[in-house]
């Protein structure tokens, strides 16, 4: 019963209503993705017990009733680590005091060692600083560490990177990935940034106006074209790849994916290391025959699996690449000119592929 | 200073001290509740708490006298429990003072409590802190100074009390004859030298207390954010 069973009906302000009936595995990272106002934070607050679902709502954590009928386990007994969008550090305590706050309230449960957590999140030199002297990124890392040290059974992260700028965002994200790799604490990660969640989510729940629109494993979901996601401008397929080798002279790395090889910018990692890469649909074009004199390095034979119009001028193609899929967005005119049909074997030209993470 | 005056001063300090302790015990949960609630009932309660600010103390004293008299339920209960009369006793003064000085303790605390962001308490809750623990570990440290302000104002205001005491306490040496009443006595019997001593004492005491309070205030009443 290692799952979080949610059967929620929760009314918010202005007719907003969150309704869902889901079971989330308590392992890895579950991303909750959706536009602002779709109910992501409401969902997290219900799980944490900060908000109470309407009568009939049920939340069971690994078989333990957190909300069921009249029963409502208060947040301080749920042992969840909540990282808020604003760090919410205690202003009267220094960093060490903030980290200690949750640790001293573990109630006898085994938890992570403070030294390890400080190291992962790069807090060693900040321990005696006051929260108001920290940058937004540092504050957020303290907040993540503080939550981790309370010996949580589940981490809830509400857009923890939303208020951070590029560099501190990346630093925070790297820290977070170290944590995920090291702890194995299940996480629910809320974001409206698909690139962010594609980096490490194992599965995703897409919320829209308080309802679940799509759900599924991250890689599978990102390769479907019948999702809301596929119709967004930043739609992209996520591929699992293995490092084959590096071309130091040109600063590139060669990756093996199902059904072919890809060249990407030099990335860290030994040969054989597993990587997750993201290929935006707008950066994939197709041709009937293999171009011989193109500047584009990555040309892979693919099979057209699905074709879907995404408006007046564009169509979205789902292209089978071995067991995995690429998405390509091309004009309807091109699709007609090439007489594309499902089952055709064509060539996909990939203009760019971004490394997402060292988690496959 | 005469023994009678020293006795009045000691009684005044005793009354103000007892009242302040009781006010902090009662006022803290009340102020906390008021700071976290909106609506008709809290607003009504806030108005009741603030009443002593605008009512003549004699009005309050009059009703208290009616409430605490020996032939009322409260008076009878007290008589049964303690064997002595409630009206015109030190205990009656304490009850009157607690009501009379309530706004001076509740209002600064309530203002300070409402500046503590609820979001911090949510964070504390998810970190395993029960409501009492949240109050102790987050609210108290952030509002510590306001307790000093509340206690000082409550104390000083009780020291300066007169009308309520005259109504429900009368003028019994060692029991209800506090400094302000003794001063009134001196003036009535045209003992101006003695009246000057007590009046000046109250002026110096109040000025010193308020000065210390306001000087400290400049430094930090705000949350350390």
Per-residue pLDDT of chain B (225 residues; tens, 9 = 90+): 788 888 889 999 999 999 999 999 999 999 999 999 888 999 999 999 999 999 999 899 999 989 888 888 888 888 888 888 888 889 999 999 999 999 999 999 999 999 999 999 999 999 999 999 999 999 999 999 899 999 999 999 999 888 898 888 888 888 888 888 889 888 988 989 989 999 999 999 999 988 888 887 554 444 433
pLDDT at position A108: 83
**What residue in B sits closest to A44 (Cα-Cα)?**
B126
The contacts of residue A302 (CB under 8 Å, 6+ apart) are: A259, A286, A319, A320, A321, A326, A345, A346, A347, A348
Whether residue A254 contacts residue A263, with contact meaning beta carbons closer than 8 Å, is answered with yes
Residue B122 forms contact with A (CB below 8 Å): yes
CB distance A90–B225 less than 8 Å?
Answer: no
Q: Say what the pTM is.
A: 0.84
Residue A73 forms contact with B (CB below 8 Å): no
Which residues between 123 and 162 in chain A have a beta carbon less than 8 angstroms from any beta carbon of chain B? 130, 132, 146-147, 150, 156
pLDDT at position B221: 45
What CATH number is given for B3-220 in this structure? Answer: 1.10.3720.10
**What residue in B sits closest to A49 (Cα-Cα)?**
B126
Pairing between strand A298-309 and A345-350?
antiparallel
CB distance A101–B126 less than 8 Å?
Answer: no
Q: Which residue has the tokens 């400049």?
A: B218
Residues of A in contact with B225 (CB under 8 A): 91, 132
Name the residue facing A92 among B127, B130, B224 (closest C-beta).
B224
Q: In whole angstroms, what is the distance from residue A19 CA to residue B113 CA? A: 35
List, in sequence order, every beta strand (DSSP E) within A26-151.
Answer: 29-33, 58-61, 64-68, 71-72, 80-83
Residue A62 forms contact with B (CB below 8 Å): no
Interface predicted TM-score of the whole assembly (ipTM), two decimals: 0.83
CB pairs under 8 A between A and B: 69
pLDDT at position B117: 94
Whether residue A246 contacts residue A252, with contact meaning beta carbons closer than 8 Å, is answered with yes
CB distance A102–B142 less than 8 Å?
Answer: no
Residue B130 forms contact with A (CB below 8 Å): yes
Q: Which tens digits make up the pLDDT trace of A188-243?
A: 999 988 888 887 889 999 999 999 999 999 888 888 888 877 888 888 888 888 88
All residue ranges of chain A with pLDDT < 70 are: 1, 352-360
Residue A66 forms contact with B (CB below 8 Å): no
Q: What is the DSSP letter of A81?
A: E
Angle, in degrees to the nearest 10, between helices B73-82 and B57-68: 60
**What residue in A sits closest to B144 (Cα-Cα)?**
A92
């Amino acid at each position: 019963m290692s799952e979080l069973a949610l059967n929620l009906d929760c009314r918010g302000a202005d007719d907003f209503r969150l309704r869902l009936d889901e079971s989330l595995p308590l392992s890895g990272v579950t991303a909750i993705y959706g536009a602002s106002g779709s109910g992501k934070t409401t969902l997290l607050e219900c799980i944490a017990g900060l908000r109470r679902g309407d009568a009939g709502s049920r939340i069971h954590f690994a078989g333990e009733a957190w909300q069921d009928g009249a029963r409502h386990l208060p947040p301080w007994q749920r042992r969840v680590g909540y990282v808020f969008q604003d760090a919410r550090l205690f202003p009267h305590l220094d960093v060490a005091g903030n980290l200690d706050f949750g640790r001293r309230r573990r109630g006898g449960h085994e938890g992570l060692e403070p030294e390890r957590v400080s190291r992962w999140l790069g807090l060693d030199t900040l321990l005696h600083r006051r929260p108001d002297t920290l940058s937004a990124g540092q504050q957020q890392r303290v907040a993540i560490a503080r939550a981790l040290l309370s010996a949580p059974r589940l981490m809830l992260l509400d857009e923890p990177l939303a208020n951070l700028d590029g560099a501190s965002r990346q630093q925070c994200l790297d820290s977070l990935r170290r944590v995920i790799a090291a702890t194995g604490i299940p996480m629910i990660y809320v974001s409206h940034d698909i690139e962010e969640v594609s980096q490490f989510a194992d599965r995703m729940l897409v919320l829209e106006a308080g309802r679940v629109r799509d759900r599924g494993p991250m890689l599978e979901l990102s390769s479907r074209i019948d999702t809301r996601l596929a119709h967004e401008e930043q739609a992209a397929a996520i591929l699992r790849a293995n490092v084959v080798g590096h071309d130091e002279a040109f600063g590139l790395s060669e990756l093996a994916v199902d059904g072919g090889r890809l060249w990407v910018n030099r990335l860290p990692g030994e040969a054989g290391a597993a990587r997750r890469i993201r290929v935006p649909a707008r950066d994939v074009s197709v041709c009937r025959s293999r171009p011989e004199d193109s500047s584009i390095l990555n040309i892979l034979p693919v099979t057209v699996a699905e074709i879907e119009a995404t408006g007046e001028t564009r169509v979205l193609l789902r292209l089978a690449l071995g067991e995995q899929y690429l998405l390509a967005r091309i004009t309807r005119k091109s699709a007609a000119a090439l007489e594309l049909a499902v089952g055709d074997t064509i060539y996909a030209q990939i203009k760019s592929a971004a490394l997402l993470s060292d988690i496959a | 200073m005469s023994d009678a005056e020293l006795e009045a001063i000691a009684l005044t300090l005793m009354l103000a001290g007892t009242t302040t302790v009781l006010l902090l015990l009662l006022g803290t949960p009340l102020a906390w509740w008021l700071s976290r609630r909106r609506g008709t009932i809290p607003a009504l309660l806030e108005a009741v708490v603030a009443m002593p600010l605008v009512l003549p103390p004699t009005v309050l004293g009059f009703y208290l006298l009616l409430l605490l008299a020996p032939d009322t339920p409260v008076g009878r209960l007290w008589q049964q429990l303690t064997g002595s009369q409630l009206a015109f006793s030190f205990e009656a003064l304490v009850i009157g003072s607690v009501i009379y000085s309530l706004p001076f303790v509740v209002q600064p605390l309530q203002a300070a409590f409402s500046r503590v962001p609820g979001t911090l308490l949510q964070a504390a809750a998810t970190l395993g802190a029960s409501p009492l623990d949240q109050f102790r570990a987050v609210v108290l440290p952030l509002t510590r100074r306001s307790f000093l302000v509340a206690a000082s104002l409550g104390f000083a205001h009780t020291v300066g009390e007169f009308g309520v005491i005259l109504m429900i306490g009368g003028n019994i040496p060692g029991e209800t004859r506090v400094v302000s009443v003794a001063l009134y006595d001196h003036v009535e019997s045209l003992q101006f030298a003695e009246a000057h001593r007590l009046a000046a004492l109250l002026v110096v005491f109040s000025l010193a207390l308020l000065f210390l309070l306001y000087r400290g205030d400049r430094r930090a009443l705000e949350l350390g954010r």
